[in-house]
Chain A
């Protein structure tokens, strides 16, 4: 059933990403491909071509023209730290809680923050990040013919899959910026600019941007979830709806909390999109591309189900369903059961961590306000002080405290955006992981039901044979055939989903470790940056203190 769904239009199929040399198509740069074949056989043909050429040369050769396209490496140097040193302190000092998103003069820096590196390498000697592993392969229907032709691919072990390399690297940067309020009153909404910068040939342009509103993002989630979650993919969850937050914005409350809310949402939407495009099969989805490219999107309706509490309910139902099902015990199931338990434990842990960071952020904010008040009191003291050197020193002290307040403020933002949001994202991602496991359960259940139906049909046939009613026998035989093929279909589905879920978990866990590492480096950099500025403050003040006579 989903075979037809994943069929991609011709112009797009060739521009999908290469996956470990066993891909559907490797990308080249815009040229006219041969028309996309309508049936699986031709797909297989194309695949063989691809496989052959890819086997020859992994370095991004354009399979159609044979022209060499140099793998486009991202701007980062081998020293991974540089990626983030560009981004530096995640929230710049001018992105104060009073501002609304980035300023125009920072457009240039837009994409340095937004880099999503779509390398297909798993491990390189330079330790490049891996975002896309070989996991896409199982999800892709074009895999099916592959498995016929090259059965060895499907039976590859996990280790082998991990070690495979691919040479093609393409860059896709996404940024969500410029929130703007459109309309007034309760019908108002925030519109965000979604900018894409890419070298991927499947897009019409290299740089483009569109405007989207929050419900568009939810609509995107709905679409891709409907398609891909059945395959056992982990679908990144969208940011949560917030009635309180949005109402404040709608009624035009121009205070720091609503600006903070908008910034928080903007950043969350950006991370959401980055995670979506980091997933190899989601990136190939035309809905994703449409979302990024198309000027006007039809309004997504019925996104109520995806509001915060709605999503949470969905996830909770999933875990209930899983708990109620009895799972047949075979070896691979042990893996799934223990993994699921791990996931649930981790979710609890991350929730706790998130609460701890939240408290840290609040205390820092408190420190900010205390510091400001103290600074004012010192300034007043300085103003009535008669001794001029002491008076000057006290004024300087007040300024030092002011600067420290800014530093505390920035650090609070760092704590929040780097740590707290990371943890919150992963709590929700783990929820998505549980949904993924639930999907597998559903597929298994369907298989069970089909098997029992088949059994019943066979019994019915047997009964008919006994009762000697030949006219119904044909029907019974037809039934049996139908259900036999269903059972084998569902068996294949189940195997496929099992394989996908395993791969997805692997990818997810790697991604998670990598994500956390990146964020910690980022956090440290912000700490260090703050600390250096602090040292400067004190160094500037010391001579003033010494000058008091």
Chain B
């Protein structure tokens, strides 16, 4: 598989048609079915991929050669690997994946992977990468080749990187952006975690309601008239509590599938931007270091050093210009993404609330009639 060929390949599938339609679990391995539609025909394509394949794709994207200013790109964030084995308790899964660990049958996780593919496919530069096309249409999986890790630095690693991170910028635009990004990244992470807590409690509530509702069924006793009347009342309450339980389940699931996913995506994207800004900062530090060395260089080495410095400067300015474009694109698209999630969330919650208001109202009517019997 040629990685990162310089040919300007276009994606051969319709971007909006990319879907993850199914996920199956076999022991520890999750397999995703990815469907898309060919651009020039009505033919559909379906391929099966595992997480390793996604990882391969991401690595391929990172390690594209001859792409000027590659470091300035905000790479769409790939969710962490899910570990579905039995020994992985829910708390561990939650810590690792947050919201994506919830929901039935890995639905949230699949959705997040789907977003990832869509983000890559809509990126003006990344969509041209061959790796993406072959990922989407080749029936064979891309193999277990490990691409070079590339020059992709993981921010979370060294303490010295923390120091680099706070290095003052030469450009106001970037200085401000870095500050904003730091705040947003931290706050959106917190918000995501807190919403997760809410959803977990909603699940507990649903469980408690279920427990209460079944216990009420034990009160049925047909011995005499009064016992029958009392039993009726208990069964009625049981129905009501059952409804409350379904209400919690629905509300929790809406929280999860809209706002939860949205906040999770936002928080991971902020991290992706952070990584891009960090790469640029590292380049800046490199440039400043080279400048200092060049100044100190003895005459015989000076020309070489100056040439080197020029190269670095060029790299840096390319990165910066790509970064600027990326940042603007990111700003506008994230607002749109959040807007859609918020609207979806609100609409779902509103519908759920109305549905259950109606249901409770019916129950109340029935109760009052029962009462006047």
Contact = CB atoms under 8 A, between A and B. Distances in A.
A342 B221 contact: yes
B194 A374 contact: yes
A356 B343 contact: no
Nearest to A126: B372
Contact of A380 (B180, B187, B350): B187
A381 B219 CA distance: 49
A337 interface: no
A548 B335 contact: yes
B79 to A, nearest CB: 21
A513 B226 contact: yes
A370 B368 contact: no
B240 A363 contact: no
Interface stretch (B20-28, B139-147, B156-164, B353-361): B353-361
B226 A510 contact: yes
Given A80-B368, A80-B372, A521-B368, A359 B208 contact: yes
B230 A513 contact: yes
Contacts of B97: none
Contacts of B353: 531, 534-535, 538
Contact of A79 (B188, B191, B368, B370): B368
A425 to B, nearest CB: 15
A371 interface: yes
A176 B221 CA distance: 35
A366 interface: yes
A148 to B, nearest CB: 32
A539 B233 contact: no
B346 interface: yes
Contact of B364 (A338, A510, A528): A528
B223 interface: yes
Contact of A367 (B198, B209, B211, B244): B198
B8 interface: no
A373 B194 contact: yes
A328 interface: no
User: Chain A, interface size: which category?
Assistant: 35 or more
Interface stretch (B199-207, B294-302, B317-325): B199-207
A517 interface: yes
Q: Counting chain B CB atoms within 10 Å of each CB, which of A81, A352, A520 scores highest? A: A520
B303 interface: no
A524 B205 contact: no
A360 B205 contact: yes
A503 B34 CA distance: 73
Interface stretch (A97-105, A234-242, A262-270, A383-391): A383-391
Contact of B191 (A349, A374, A524): A374
Contacts of A346: 219, 221
B338 interface: yes
A516 B202 CA distance: 27
A528 B234 contact: no
A542 B343 contact: yes
A523 B216 CA distance: 15
A546 interface: yes
Given A521-B364, A521-B368, A548 B339 contact: yes
Contacts of B370: 517
Interface in A334-366: 338, 342, 346, 349, 352-353, 356-357, 359-360, 363-364, 366
A541 interface: yes
Contacts of A517: 233, 367, 370-371
B82 interface: no
A218 B345 CA distance: 53
Contacts of B237: 516, 520, 523
Nearest to B366: A524
A220 interface: no
Contacts of A387: 331, 335
A384 B317 CA distance: 29
Contacts of A521: 364, 367-368, 371
Contact of A535 (B223, B345, B354, B368): B354
A524 B240 contact: yes
A55 interface: no
A393 interface: yes
Contacts of A370: 194, 197-198, 201
Contact of B187 (A366, A384, A525, A535): A384
A127 B372 contact: yes
A509 B227 contact: yes
Given A516-B233, A548-B338, 10 more contacts: A359-B208, A359-B211, A360-B205, A381-B187, A509-B224, A513-B226, A528-B357, A535-B354, A545-B346, A548-B339
Closest 5 pairs (CB-CB, A-B): A509-B226, A356-B212, A538-B350, A548-B339, A374-B194
13 contacts: A81-B368, A342-B221, A349-B215, A360-B205, A360-B212, A374-B194, A377-B190, A380-B190, A510-B226, A510-B229, A513-B230, A517-B370, A527-B360
Interface of B: 180, 183-184, 187-188, 190-191, 194-195, 197-198, 201-202, 204-205, 208-209, 211-212, 215-216, 218-219, 221, 223-224, 226-227, 229-230, 233-234, 236-237, 240, 244, 331, 335, 338-339, 342-343, 345-347, 349-350, 353-354, 356-357, 360-361, 363-364, 367-368, 370-373
